[in-house]
Chains A and B, each alone.
Chain A
Amino acid sequence: MALTKVTQIAGTAVHVPGTDIDTDRIIPARFMKCVTFDGLGEFAFYDVRKNPDGTDKPHPLNDERFTGANILLSGANFGCGSSREHAPQALYRFGFRAVIAESFAEIFFGNCTTLGIPCAVAAHNDIVALAKEVERNPKLEVTVDLLEGKVFFEDQEFSIIVPHTAREALTTGQWDPIAELLENKDAVDAKIRELAVVA
């Protein structure tokens, strides 16, 4: 399947600090009562962005200075908890095209990759330094370069880690594996027959 090659994400960034930010926080369960993912964007981080009466709470994603940011910066174990793909789907529909964090929970990482959203691991100090720059200049142009394995902004740069398999899938435009999985149908059938004999 011909998909976009995700090699570089350029744009502006916003910092949502915190460790162990779980997928319930990214998309509260009550918004999962839907049979498509289409309307999820407006509910991203809903309960930390909104008061019960629907008015805004102070939150980086409500801050007009960061409107239009497409790169999300966060802390360790980002996306932990529930396997809900609604979380990356909500982030994507909110406008995010890349996430840079100190570490990612595994299921969330896989879900993002399958949607073509790179999750890049960076050192705490690098993320904090970039967040400071973004705070000073919200329109700072930030580039996540998967081929170089680096994030660039102004005259600065820092290294990111994207596991080989995810980088390969993203940069070659094969982040949705369905076509390749379907191609191997004969091998799957053979494997099922083989295991049936063993059991």
Chain B
Amino acid sequence: MGKTLFQKVWESHSVATLSNGQTQLLIDTHLIHEVTSPQAFGMLRDLGLKVAYPQRTFATVDHIVPTDQREEPFSDSLADAMIKELNRNAKEFGVTYFDLRSGKQGIVHVVGPEQGITQPGTTIACGDSHTATHGAFGAIAFGIGTTQVRDILATQTMALSPMKVRRINVDGELRPGVYSKDVILHIIRLLGAGGGKGYAYEYGGSIFDGFTMEERMTVCNMSIEGGARAGYVNPDEKTFEYLKGRPYSPKGEEWDKAVAAWRAVASDADAVYDDVVNIRAEDVPPTVTWGVSPDQAIAVNEQVPTVESGTNPEQRISIQEALEYMKLEGGAPIKGTKIDVAFVGSCTNGRLSDFREVARFLKGKKVAGHVKAIAVPGSQIVDVLARQEGIDQVFTEAGFEWRGAGCSMCLAMNPDKLVGDQLCASSSNRNFKGRQGSPTGRTILMSPLMVAAAAVTGEVADAREVFSLSA
């Protein structure tokens, strides 16, 4: 009987069975950032421990780093203190650190792949739930809490129970104007925000075969929004091509050996899955959220659900609560909902291809007068590459602000925040209450091109119509 990639990686990385029955799992690569690591280093000091394998931990600053002010000290003294803490910890414990001066700083899930740190068949953990992004390379990657950050710093391992594997096939052809973001929003809509609990999602089928690495990253990134702690795509030629020549990728003979091992780690053709879901690509519409959970999503040309459409009392309460918070009317079209802010960026959609695709259509268009629009590259490298292609200019000429790299308005721990009940068309990953920095701020998740369409028209719009894409 064949094995899945998950099973192979799990077996090869199991160190021991712990007394409670969990597995002590070796974590090949540990990524850290300024928000969830200071306490872990504090615990390490309290216990008098060192970092066991400092060369396996990589740090950067992303969550709270300002996107307009790029020199320390930062005007927010709390943010400044946290970044100073990371500076100190990286130095003291000998951890590689892509800081603001490195030219390589950025969102940790953009930096890892960019540097070739993210590799197939490895285990990757980070104190951030969007770590599944790295699964796009055939890694088993997942988010952890701060105590587990401590565990990995101290031992390069953590306690974990195995996951089941759900294979999600998307086959056929995506219609024009439908992107990888729509695919994952559609999957979450179908399977629910808690539907992936206990599972790693293995994404496959012709759509994933055809996707670029960046498109695969967008899907894997949001696995957690569907309740799956990890999500991955089996490595293939595209994976190897992406990684070849990157700073941390194997070189020379090592490269050939690595590729052979990576090929072998992919799921076997006769692998057995705990569950299989099949989706027709033609059924995936440009998707937008309407509520306060990522599974509260509809096609852009659908109506916002009514309270009565809920199938049970809990669901009706959830719909009502979401409609009230979002100030939307059940039964009304979502299209035409006025927006205040447009945000293109985040670990979901802050890579070069995202900005390139938007720029293709944004050229010559103007952001609506009442909309504040910001574009935040996922890393300093994305920023430089975009500038080389003149993409930043297309954005700024249209009326977007082009910022420095970071998480920015995805979770608004830096000065980029919604104000009051502003409504944001956002390429990020969470529409939770208050997520974008204001306790009453509202978020509608969508693909980057849909954000551009909303920015230009000043309301939720169908990018296919705004940019004359033939459907």
- CB–CB A52/B150 < 8 A: no
Task: Indicate whether B412 reaches chain A with its CB closer than 8 angstroms.
Answer: yes
- CB–CB A103/B194 < 8 A: yes
Instruction: Say which residue of B22, B26, B85, B160 sits within 8 Å of A195 (CB atoms).
Output: B26
Instruction: Say which residue of A24, A35, A164, A192 sits within 8 Å of B433 (CB atoms).
Output: A24
Instruction: Say which residue of A36, A115, A191 sits within 8 Å of B26 (CB atoms).
Output: A191
Nearest-neighbor residue (CB-CB) of B156 within chain A:
A188
Hey, which chain A residues are within 8 Å of B15, CB to CB? 184, 187-188, 191
Q: How far is the CB of B166 from chain A (nearest CB, A)?
A: 14
Interface residues on A, range: 35 or more
- CB–CB A172/B439 < 8 A: no
Q: A32-B35, A33-B78 are in contact. Are A111 and B19 (CB under 8 A)?
A: no
Query: Complex formed: what's the CA distance from A24 to B413 in Å?
Result: 12
Instruction: Say which residue of A28, A77, A191 sits within 8 Å of B434 (CB atoms).
Output: A28
Instruction: Say which residue of A35, A103, A106 sits within 8 Å of B82 (CB atoms).
Output: A35
- CB–CB A83/B433 < 8 A: no
Q: Mark B227-248, 1 if CB is under 8 A from A, else 0.
A: 1010000000000000000000
Query: Complex formed: what's the CA distance from A30 to B82 in Å?
Result: 13
Task: Indicate whether A56 reaches chain B with its CB closer than 8 angstroms.
Answer: no
- CB–CB B411/A165 < 8 A: no
Stretch with Cβ within 8 A of A (4 or more), from B97-105, B141-149, B357-365, B367-375: B141-149
Query: Complex formed: what's the CA distance from A169 to B198 in Å?
Result: 19
Hey, which chain B residues are within 8 Å of A135, CB to CB? none
Q: Mark A163-184, 1 if CB is under 8 A from B, else 0.
A: 1111011001010111011101
- CB–CB A37/B258 < 8 A: no
Hey, which chain B residues are within 8 Å of A115, CB to CB? 147
Stretch with Cβ within 8 A of A (4 or more), from B36-44, B179-187, B210-218, B394-402: B36-44
Q: How far is the CB of A192 from chain B (nearest CB, A)?
A: 7
Cβ contacts A to B, 24 pairs, < 8 Å: A22-B293, A32-B35, A33-B79, A33-B82, A34-B78, A34-B82, A76-B194, A77-B194, A77-B227, A80-B194, A81-B432, A83-B131, A84-B36, A85-B147, A105-B194, A107-B229, A111-B148, A114-B148, A177-B158, A181-B158, A184-B24, A188-B155, A199-B121, A199-B257
The 8 closest A-B pairs by CB, nearest first: A77-B194, A85-B145, A83-B143, A111-B145, A168-B20, A47-B439, A33-B78, A83-B129
